[in-house]
């Protein structure tokens, strides 16, 4: 199965070539590729094989479609492979050539790395925020089942009416789709016993609130049903950040008492370091210790509302089923209390939504707009790099022409340009990750105004994979114009038409041309002299220079005779 899929994927890549070429060479190239895939080793070897093969096929196929579809002699300048050959040796040569050319142009390399680094860094930082807020699951044990309950008065436009004690009890006992119904509200109290009096943000929660969120204290214990009863001993739980900043992470704080609302509250637990919801609080207390929530008058009035309610869906229960169930509960409550829920004038209904959607609803449009903006910034950066690369390639036109004349195929030139651009884009990606990490704090503070999930943002494996993908993508994209120039460059390597005079070319014993290529030691990568089909070539004893011949299923060998290169088929 895996081999069939690999073959299908390879044939899909072959569509980059003209139809006539696919008919003639497609099956043999596919067979060769599958043979190489079987001998490529583990996943890393196969991944490298796919990368090189895709680069070869797409680069060569695009070049053929841009002007060499029916001209066999023009196509002779290309080297087409199925991924074979000495891939490691080719890679070493390409990398060495890339680093050598970049050392000769340090200014160009620095500008490209900085430009791509800024573009990739902005996108990496924004993606880390999008990943932490929109894509990652809630950091709670049963986060996909936690829901937010709301009361609505649709006729007066109130879509988020708070709950009273009576209403919480009704929904807790009348529903059939929720395993737990818990409450929360937020107040500010003065805490004494830590030196100067200190205002603390306090979350007032019912028993099992932290069980619903899947949060277990890292020290001490959670609230129990007994702590929720009126007259219970005053207790409190510290948030992790408050414990670290105000108590220096002292584990002995458990059991100590601090005064709040005229009562000494004993510290019974410390929460783990995960984001708090719905608010970031310093301490938490049970409902029995809130002066307002525990007052008999407040408890008795059905219209005394200030609590937010959360629940947990039963396993396998869809949200739509829970909504239908709560609609029935709301109708029953309204029918039993017509003087409180004025259906004719205000209306009354219940609504339920996934907690994750509630957390990100206000932040999603802003984050998506910012992500799209940073993608445009990256495109602008790529366009600037493309302009620089094209200007540099124009200056290197003579060198490219000489290398083609010496037999370097256009496919090989494209691969070397691809290697150079990938080296630059990877360096830009590394710089981008560093810049993203440095700017992450500012982004988190900004996004924290829209959602508490912003504080879950970090540079994790998914973000690094995004940065790698952006780096690998921007390299080829930024040098597309250079590829086009190379593909459509001079027709060096073509043989003259039949009957045309064959130009004289250097003898094997002639001195090397005074060019940078001529001074290089050893043959150029991809170099292969070819004798043109001209009558004069058989007697002149001279060689006509051209690129590698078009791929054939027949193997070739060569013999040097009388100062020229002849081929034996």
Q: Render pLDDT for 525-543 as a digit per residue (tens, 0 to 9).
A: 443 344 344 433 333 333 3
Q: Render pLDDT for 444-484 as a digit per residue (tens, 0 to 9).
A: 888 888 888 888 888 888 999 999 988 888 877 776 556 55
| Rounded average pLDDT over 374-402 | 81
CA dist 63 and 264 (Å) reads: 81
CA dist 320 and 329 (Å) reads: 14
Residue 501: pLDDT band with limits 50, 70, 90: very low
CB atoms within 10 A of CB 492: 19
What's the maximum distance between 2 C-alpha atoms anywhere in the chain? 116
Give residue 13's pLDDT: 82
- Give percent above pLDDT 90 in the chain: 38
Q: Render pLDDT for 435-455 as a digit per residue (tens, 0 to 9).
A: 999 999 898 888 888 888 888
Q: Which two tokens stand for residue 1?
A: 């199965």
Output the pTM of the full model. 0.62
Q: What is the DSSP letter of 147?
A: E
| Rounded average pLDDT over 68-95 | 52
**Stronger pLDDT, 92 or 189, i.e. the higher one:** 189
3-state DSSP assignment of residue 453: helix
Contact between 93 and 513 (Cβ < 8 Å)? no
Q: Render pLDDT for 317-360 as a digit per residue (tens, 0 to 9).
A: 999 999 999 999 999 999 999 988 988 888 899 999 998 888 88
Q: For residue 330, which phi and psi values (nearest 5 degrees)?
A: -60, -40
Query: Mean of the per-residue pLDDT values for the chain?
Result: 78
Query: How many residues are recorded in the chain?
Result: 569
Q: Which two tokens stand for residue 284?
A: 């938490």
3-state DSSP assignment of residue 182: strand
pLDDT at 561 over 50: no
Residue 200: pLDDT band with limits 50, 70, 90: very high
Give residue 359's pLDDT: 84
Residue 122: pLDDT band with limits 50, 70, 90: very high
Contact between 140 and 214 (Cβ < 8 Å)? yes
Give residue 473's pLDDT: 84
Minimum mean pLDDT among 141-155, 225-239, 394-408, 415-429: which range?
Answer: 394-408
Q: Render pLDDT for 209-261 as a digit per residue (tens, 0 to 9).
A: 998 888 889 999 999 999 999 989 999 999 999 999 999 999 999 999 999 99
3-state DSSP assignment of residue 3: helix
CA dist 543 and 528 (Å) reads: 11
Contact between 205 and 286 (Cβ < 8 Å)? yes
Cβ contacts of residue 280 below 8 Å, gap of 6+? 201, 239, 241, 452, 455
């Amino acid at each position: 199965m895996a081999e069939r899929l690999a073959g299908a994927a390879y044939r899909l890549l072959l569509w980059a070539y003209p139809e006539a070429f696919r008919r003639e060479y497609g099956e043999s190239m596919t067979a060769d590729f599958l043979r190489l895939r079987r001998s490529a080793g583990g996943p890393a070897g196969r991944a490298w094989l796919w990368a090189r093969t895709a680069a070869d096929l797409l680069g060569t196929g695009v070049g053929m479609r841009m002007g060499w579809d029916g001209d066999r002699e023009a196509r002779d300048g290309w080297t087409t492979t199925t991924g074979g050959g000495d891939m490691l040796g080719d890679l070493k040569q390409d990398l060495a050539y890339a680093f050598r050319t970049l050392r000769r142009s340090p200014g160009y390399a620095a500008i490209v790395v900085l430009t791509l680094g800024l573009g990739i860094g902005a996108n990496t930082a924004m993606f880390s925020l999008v990943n932490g807020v929109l894509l990652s699951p809630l950091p709670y044990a049963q986060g996909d089942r936690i829901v937010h309950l709301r009361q609505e008065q649709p006729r007066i436009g109130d879509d988020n009416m708070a709950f009273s004690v009576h209403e919480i009890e009704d929904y807790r006992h009348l529903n059939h789709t929720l395993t737990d119904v818990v409450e929360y509200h937020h107040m500010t109290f003065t805490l004494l016993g830590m030196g100067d009096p200190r205002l603390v943000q306090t979350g007032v929660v019912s028993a099992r609130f932290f069980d619903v969120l899947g949060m277990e204290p890292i020290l001490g214990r959670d609230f129990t049903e007994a702590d929720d009863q009126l007259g219970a001993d005053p207790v409190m739980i510290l948030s992790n950040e408050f414990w670290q900043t105000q108590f220096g992470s002292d584990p002995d704080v458990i059991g100590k008492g601090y005064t709040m609302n005229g009562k000494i509250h004993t510290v019974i637990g410390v929460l783990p370091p995960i984001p708090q919801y719905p608010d970031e609080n310093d301490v938490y207390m049970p409902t029995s210790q809130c002066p307002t929530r525990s007052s008999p008058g407040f408890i008795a009035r059905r219209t005394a509302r200030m609590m937010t309610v959360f629940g947990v869906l039963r396993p396998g229960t869809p949200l739509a089923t829970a909504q239908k169930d709560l609609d029935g509960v709301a109708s029953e409550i309204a029918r039993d209390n017509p003087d409180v829920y004025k259906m004719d004038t205000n209306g009354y209904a219940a609504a339920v939504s996934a907690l994750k959607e509630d957390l990100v609803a206000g932040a999603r449009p802003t984050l998506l707009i910012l992500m799209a903006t940073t993608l445009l910034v990256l495109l602008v950066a790529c366009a600037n790099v493309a302009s620089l690369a094209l200007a540099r390639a124009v200056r290197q036109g003579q060198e490219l022409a000489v290398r083609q004349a010496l037999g370097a195929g256009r496919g090989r030139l494209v691969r070397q340009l691809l290697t150079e651009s990938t080296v630059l884009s990877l360096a830009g990606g590394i710089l981008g990750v560093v810049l993203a990490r440095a700017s992450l704090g500012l982004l988190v503070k900004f996004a924290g105004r829209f959602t508490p999930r912003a504080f879950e943002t970090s540079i994790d494996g998914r973000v690094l994979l995004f940065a790698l993908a952006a780096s690998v993508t921007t390299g080829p994209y930024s040098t597309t114009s250079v590829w086009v120039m190379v593909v459509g460059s001079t027709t060096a390597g073509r043989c003259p038409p039949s009957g045309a005079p064959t130009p004289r070319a250097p003898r094997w014993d002639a001195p090397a041309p005074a060019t940078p290529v001529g001074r290089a030691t050893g043959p150029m990568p991809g170099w292969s002299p070819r004798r043109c089909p001209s009558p004069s070539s058989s007697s002149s004893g001279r060689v006509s220079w051209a690129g590698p011949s078009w791929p054939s299923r027949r193997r070739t060998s060569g013999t040097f005779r009388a100062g020229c290169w002849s081929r034996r088929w």
